[in-house]
Amino acid sequence: MDKHRVIIKGGNIVGRGTEDIAIADGRIIERASSIEATAEDRVINASGLMVAPAFVDVHVHLREPGYGYKERIATGTMAAARGGYTTVCSMPNLNPVPDCVEGLQAQLDIIERDAKIEVLPYAAITIGRKGEELVDLASLKDKVCAFSDDGSGVQVDGMMERAMTEAVKHDALIAAHCEVEELLKGGYIHDGEYARQHGHKGICSESEWEQVKRDIEIAERLGCRYHVCHISTKETVELVRQAKARGVKVTCETGPHYLIFTDMDLEEDARWKMNPPLRSTEDRAALVEGIKDGTIDMIATDHAPHSVEEKSRGLKDSAMGIVGLETAFAALNTHLVRKGVITLERLVELMSINPRKVFRINGGIEVGDRADIVLFDTEREWRVDSNNFYSMGRISMFDGREMVGDVVMTLHRGEVVYDNKTK
């Protein structure tokens, strides 16, 4: 058992202090103040580095099958490893849509062949993500992390009720992109000051929170496990906060960009276009309070790569979506941790511990855990250059910005999948 170990020596485990970690057969076998290495062990010198359970992103778009010109599972998972992630959950905006076992298998085959880390797919809630016919949850539940029609909200109340009824039967998680389509009115950025100043059509906050309100009411009545994707409004934060206080089985995520920028940071550039859009200063403040008080459970990037051509049509006509896997930790460390908004321990909870709990994902740094571990340097200074991304997506609002803090090494099942230690 002790042969061919990996020993991480001298790292500062977030919230724990300096300890050595020994890994064998893909799992943590020992943690101690000092572990003696043998000649057969691989020793990783983590002196001066922070060590934490590797990050989990429950909301990424890997684009395969169907849209490999935007991203591939190989490139997207390498980007994730570079960002400190060892598990990503792949959204169902694909062709074929994973709405049946056969459709899902097309994605699973690529994952098995090309993924550099763990990829857990979502299945759709409805056939073709069209909102008209419920998928067979029973046949898919053991093969996916959750069910979502991401990219569009389930518009019909009765359909969401049926979905949650089935989810309760199978202890499945419903993860909802909440958007009332009749309230969009052709909008493509937040219906706020920037839209008014520059003559753009806005997306009202109610288009998000009205559907969240509906879903929470159904989930509360049925006892369904319900997760709200990429929340962006102050009203949504308050709805989730109140629901949690009542004991509703509701969780939620927000993205790094919603915590750092507002609509008044927008430029006439598609780097600033995503769905939901960047909201007001008041919305951002509510989101920050939500990650501080536990209302918001986790941070997910909504990594959504598009081709350069699809993102070159300006703010109005470009596709919605930005990339985020390779910059998330650095951006959040720079703008939240270093500014004293949250602690590093809280950031690790939001990026690793909580998503593992909610989505029931293995991995960590306790003895017996699957050895999914990230080493990072909170003081390393670097400039984001999208030309160096592993992702095929090159559209990032952080491009050219100075960051403080970076991932140095990522281990998945005890194997090094990304190594930036020598740079």
pLDDT (tens digit per residue) in 166-182: 999 999 999 999 999 99
Structure tokens at 342: 């949250």
Find the farthest-apart pair of alpha carbons in the chain and give their distance in angstroms, rounded. 68
User: How many CB atoms neighbour CB 50 within 10 A?
Assistant: 21
Helices 206-222, 157-170: inter-axial angle, 10-degree rounding: 40
Helices and strands (H, E) in the chain, number of each type: 13, 18
> Hunting for tokens 């019909």 — which residue is that?
156
Burial group, residue 267, by CB count within 10 angstroms (0-12, 13-18, 19+): exposed
Side chain identity, residue 395 = I
How much is the pLDDT for 364? 87
pLDDT of residue 3: 59
Per residue of the chain (423 residues), give pLDDT as tens.
445 899 999 999 999 999 999 999 999 999 999 999 999 999 999 999 999 999 999 999 999 999 999 999 999 999 999 999 999 999 999 999 999 999 999 999 999 999 999 999 999 999 999 999 999 999 999 999 999 999 899 999 999 999 999 999 999 999 999 999 999 999 999 999 999 999 999 999 999 999 999 999 999 999 999 999 999 999 999 999 999 999 999 999 999 999 999 999 999 999 999 999 999 999 999 999 999 999 999 999 999 999 999 999 999 999 999 999 999 999 999 999 999 999 999 999 999 999 999 999 999 899 999 999 999 999 999 999 999 999 999 999 999 999 999 999 999 999 999 999 764
Interstrand relation of 173-176 and 225-228 (parallel, antiparallel or unpaired): parallel
Domain 54-359 has CATH 3.20.20.140: yes
Task: Bin 85: left if φ > 0, else alpha if -120 < ψ < 50, else beta.
Answer: beta
Instruction: Report the pLDDT value the prediction gives residue 4, as an integer from 0 to 100.
Output: 84
The residues, any chain, with a CB within 8 Å of residue 423's CB and separated by 6 or more, are none
Q: How far apart are CA 14 and CA 92, in angstroms?
A: 34
pLDDT digits (tens, 9 = 90+) for 101-122: 999 999 999 999 999 999 999 9
pLDDT value of residue 421? 79
With 0-12 / 13-18 / 19 or more C-beta atoms within 10 angstroms meaning exposed / middle / buried, residue 36 is exposed
Give residue 86's pLDDT.
98
- Active-site residue set: 302
Per-residue pLDDT at 258: 98
Domain positions in the chain: 54-359
